[in-house]
Structure formats: C-alpha cells, structure tokens
Chain A
Amino acid sequence: MEANDNKKSLTIVEVIDDGPLKISGNIVLKDLKRDIIDNFTEILLCRCGRSGNKPYCDSSHKC
C-alpha cells in the first residue's frame, strides 16, 4: 500500500444532529460491557440510548 498523506487526521468523528455518531477511518472499538474488541473503517453509534443493537445505531431515534 502506498503511503498516504498522513498530515491530516484520517479519522472523522461526526455527530449527526438528532442522529447517531458516525466514525470513519481506522477505528479500534472496545466494548467494555460485551467484552468485544474489533476493527472498523466506519461505524454508526447510538447516541439516544434507545437502540436495540447497542452500541450501534438501529435508527430507533426516529421512532
């Protein structure tokens, strides 16, 4: 793989208004409750507390 331009942060953490947290880049996710460690390049995380698939968003905030 060619070296990327590393000067800028490659990861973007974006709070979507009235919606989830979107993270894209090189992510190591550690879920302490479920004892899971995983790598992702894009995730949507629940911010409303209502998701049935925590920590991920399942669009329950729209209900």
Chain B
Amino acid sequence: MESQNKTFSGGRKYSNGEITVYWKPDACVHASYCYRELIEVFDPGRRPWVDMSGADTDRIIEVVNMCPTEALAWKWNDENRNKNISIDQTNHINFRRPELIITEEQPVQENTVSVKIMIDGPIVIKGDFTFKYSGNNKELKAGIISLCRCGASYHLPFCDGAHRKVGFEDK
C-alpha cells in the first residue's frame, strides 16, 4: 500500500490520550472554522493555542474535520482504531482531502472557481485561476488562497488572521 499520509515536518502535535491532533501552520489559510466552532480548544490568542482538555474527543474530531486545508488533522492513538475510518472523517491522517488532490475527472467543474466568504473572515478561493496582484501574475492550478476582507491584515492582500483582533463583523 502506498503511503499517502500527510507529512508534518515542522508541525506540532497535541494529544488528550485518546487522539492526537496535528497542526501544520504553513498550510493554514485562516479560514477560521476551528476557533469559531471551538474556542475552548483552538484559541489563537493562547499559548499553546491548542488545549486538548477544552472539549471531548468527539467534538474535537468534528471540528478538526471542518478544516478546509491540511493544517489540522487527527488520528486515534490506538492504531487499531485508525484502520477503519469512514470517508466523512475528512481530516483523519489516512485521508487526502479530495479537493486537494489534482483534479482529473471533473468535466462539469472544470475551470469553475470556488469563492467562499468566511463568516466575519476572509475570502477563500479555490481552483484553477490566474491571480493578479501588485504587478504579479500567477497561474494557480488547484490553488487555494485566503484574502483579507477586513482591511486590517499586515500581509495584504492576504489574510493574516487580523480580523479576529480587530473584531471585524460582516454586516
């Protein structure tokens, strides 16, 4: 069997004895599902920012599975339990998320770009597109970018999570 597991070089691990959550900062696009859903566990303002005692295992798994990137992933500490993982456990380390794999057979979806407006957060764009900014011209294939919508980012045009600090409210 081919090992397609996500790699976590440079990442961090957090465990509650039952599961281990992996955090890969460079993959994060600040889509902000984790802390919106479960600030008790995922609090970017706290160090360490992940507190595994903040919720029960099922809830942590549920929220990790919401992460639209590979920044957050998880596995059971009991390896036997990792053998039969259902397909809806999208962020289990044995899965590659389908939308992050090279798209081969998506005739209808071809050239369609997904633009997601995150709640009180950034614009997350996924797909094949040309990205133009400040004189740059980048061809992105199956790319994903997260762009600031609050105007407060220090890394414009990209989101750096500043919307949370400034209390950006989309209304």
Contact = CB atoms under 8 A, between A and B. Distances in A.
B35 interface: no
A33 B125 contact: no
A15 to B, nearest CB: 4
Interface in B127-171: 127-134, 139-141, 145, 147-152, 156-157, 168, 170-171
B151 A47 contact: yes
Contact of A13 (B113, B134, B170, B171): B113
Which of B117, B152, B168: most chain A Cβ within 10 A? B117
A50 B151 contact: yes
Contact of A29 (B115, B131, B147, B151): B115
B38 to A, nearest CB: 16
For chain B, which range describes its interface: under 10, 10 to 19, 20 to 34, or 35 or more residues? 35 or more
A28 B109 CA distance: 10
B112 interface: yes
Q: Size band of the A side of the interface?
A: 20 to 34
Contact of B129 (A13, A43, A45, A46): A13
Interface in A11-54: 11-15, 17, 21, 23, 25-33, 43, 45-50, 54
Contact of A55 (B112, B123, B139): B123
B132 A12 contact: yes
A23 B114 CA distance: 11
Contacts of B133: 14-15
Interface of A: 6, 8-15, 17, 21, 23, 25-33, 43, 45-50, 54-55
Interface of B: 110-120, 123, 125, 127-134, 139-141, 145, 147-152, 156-157, 168, 170-171
16 contacts: A11-B112, A11-B127, A11-B130, A13-B132, A13-B145, A14-B133, A21-B147, A25-B111, A25-B113, A27-B115, A28-B113, A30-B116, A43-B115, A47-B148, A54-B149, A54-B171
